[in-house]
C-alpha cells in the first residue's frame, strides 16, 4: 500500500512525534454507512489535499507548532476492535502531550477518541458539528452505527454535548435530546436568526473536544459526503462558529469525519483539509 503523506509535509517538514504539537491519526473506518460510500478513503484524501494548502493562514503558520502524521489505524475486524485501536492511539497521543487529530472514516470513529479522553478522568464537553443528531439507540440493528455515535458518547461518558448545524433527525432523536437536555443550535435557527451572541451555554466545560462531520457544511460547499443534506453551514459561518466555541477554551482534540472523496473533483477533500488546518490554528487561541 502506498505510504500516507504527512499532513502539509510538502511545505513544512514533519515534526518528530515526541516534539509535535499535533498528532494526525488516520482512521479509515467504514462499516455502517447507509447511503453514499467512500468514507474509508477520506483520511488519505485529506492528507493528499493538504499538500496544496498554504501554510500561512493569513495570521501565522500553525504547522510550525509541529505536525506528526502517524500510520493509518488498522480498522479491519470488528467495530469494537477497531474502536479499541483508535482509543489506544488517541490515548498515546494525549499521554505524550500532543493534540490528537482524528481523520475519518465514518463518524463512529469519534467514540474511540472520546473514550480515551474520558479515561483520563478530567471534565470536558463535546461540540458536535453535524447535519444529523446521531442519537439513535440502534440503526439497522447496530448500536455502533455512525447514526448512534453521539448516543453512545452520552451514555458511556456522561460528557455534555452541544450540537451545531443539525437539520435531519428522527422522532426518537428529538425525544432523546429533550429527555437528556442536550442543547443545540440547529441549521434552521442559524439561517433564520443568525449566530447568537453566546453559542455554548453558560457553564459548558472549558476543555472541549470538537467533532466535525463534514455534512454539517452545505452540499454546495461539501458535496463529497455520504449523506448530504441541503441547508447546511457555509464556510465562513462554520469558521465563526468554531471561533466562538473555542474562544477561552482548550481544545483537547478534534476530528473531521465522513468525507467521501469524489474522483472527479478535489473540492471536498481540499475543503476538509483546510478545515483541519483551521481548527489546528484555533488550538493555540483558546
Q: Which residues of the chain have pLDDT under 70?
A: 1, 286
Which residue, among 223, 229, 232, has the nearest Cα to 259 in the 3D structure? 223
In whole angstroms, what is the distance from residue 284 CA to residue 250 CA?
8
Phi, psi of 148 (to 5 degrees): -120, 0
Q: Facing residues of 184 across strands?
A: 163
**Could you give the percent of the chain with pLDDT greater than 70?**
99
Q: Facing residues of 255 across strands?
A: 102, 211
**In this predicted structure, what is the pLDDT of residue 3?**
87
- Does the pTM exceed 0.95? yes
* CA 87 distance to own-chain centroid: 15
In whole angstroms, what is the distance from residue 90 CA to residue 111 CA?
11
Return the C-alpha cell found at 220.
Answer: 454546495
Which residue, among 233, 6, 238, 239, has the nearest Cα to 103 in the 3D structure? 6
Return the C-alpha cell found at 148.
Answer: 448512534
Would you say the C-alpha torsion 117, 190, 35, 177 has a positive or negative sign? positive
Half-sphere exposure (CA, 13 Å, Cβ side) for 145?
Answer: 18
Q: Name all domains of the chain by residue range, CATH numbers in brackets.
A: 22-282 (3.40.800.10)
**In this predicted structure, what is the pLDDT of residue 286?**
56
Amino acid at each position: 500500500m502506498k505510504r500516507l503523506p504527512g499532513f502539509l509535509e510538502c511545505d513544512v517538514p514533519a515534526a518528530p512525534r515526541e516534539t509535535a504539537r499535533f498528532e494526525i491519526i488516520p482512521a479509515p473506518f467504514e462499516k455502517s454507512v447507509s447511503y453514499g460510500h467512500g468514507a474509508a478513503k477520506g483520511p488519505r484524501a485529506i492528507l493528499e489535499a493538504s499538500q496544496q494548502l498554504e501554510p500561512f493562514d493569513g495570521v501565522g503558520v500553525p504547522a510550525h507548532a509541529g505536525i506528526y502524521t502517524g500510520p493509518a489505524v488498522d480498522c479491519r475486524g470488528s467495530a469494537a476492535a477497531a474502536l479499541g485501536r483508535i482509543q489506544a492511539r488517541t490515548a498515546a497521543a494525549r499521554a505524550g502531550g500532543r493534540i490528537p487529530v482524528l481523520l475519518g472514516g465514518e463518524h463512529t470513529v469519534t467514540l474511540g477518541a472520546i473514550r480515551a479522553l474520558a479515561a483520563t478522568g478530567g471534565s470536558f464537553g463535546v461540540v458536535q458539528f453535524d447535519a444529523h443528531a446521531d442519537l439513535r439507540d440502534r440503526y439497522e440493528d447496530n448500536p455502533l452505527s455512525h447514526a448512534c455515535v453521539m448516543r453512545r458518547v452520552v451514555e458511556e461518558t456522561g460528557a455534555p454535548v452541544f450540537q451545531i448545524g443539525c437539520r435531519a433527525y428522527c422522532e426518537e432523536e428529538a425525544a432523546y435530546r429533550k429527555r437528556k437536555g442536550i442543547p443545540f443550535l440547529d441549521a434552521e435557527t442559524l439561517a433564520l436568526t443568525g449566530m447568537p451572541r453566546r453559542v455554548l451555554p453558560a457553564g459548558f466545560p472549558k476543555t472541549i473536544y470538537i467533532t466535525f462531520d463534514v455534512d454539517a457544511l452545505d452540499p454546495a460547499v461539501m458535496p463529497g459526503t455520504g449523506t448530504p443534506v441541503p441547508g447546511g453551514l457555509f464556510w465562513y459561518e462554520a469558521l465563526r462558529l468554531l471561533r466562538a466555541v473555542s474562544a477561552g477554551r482548550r481544545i483537547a482534540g478534534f476530528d473531521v469525519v465522513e468525507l467521501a472523496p469524489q474522483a472527479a473533483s478535489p473540492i471536498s477533500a481540499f475543503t476538509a483539509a483546510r478545515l483541519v488546518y483551521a481548527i489546528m490554528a484555533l488550538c493555540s487561541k483558546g
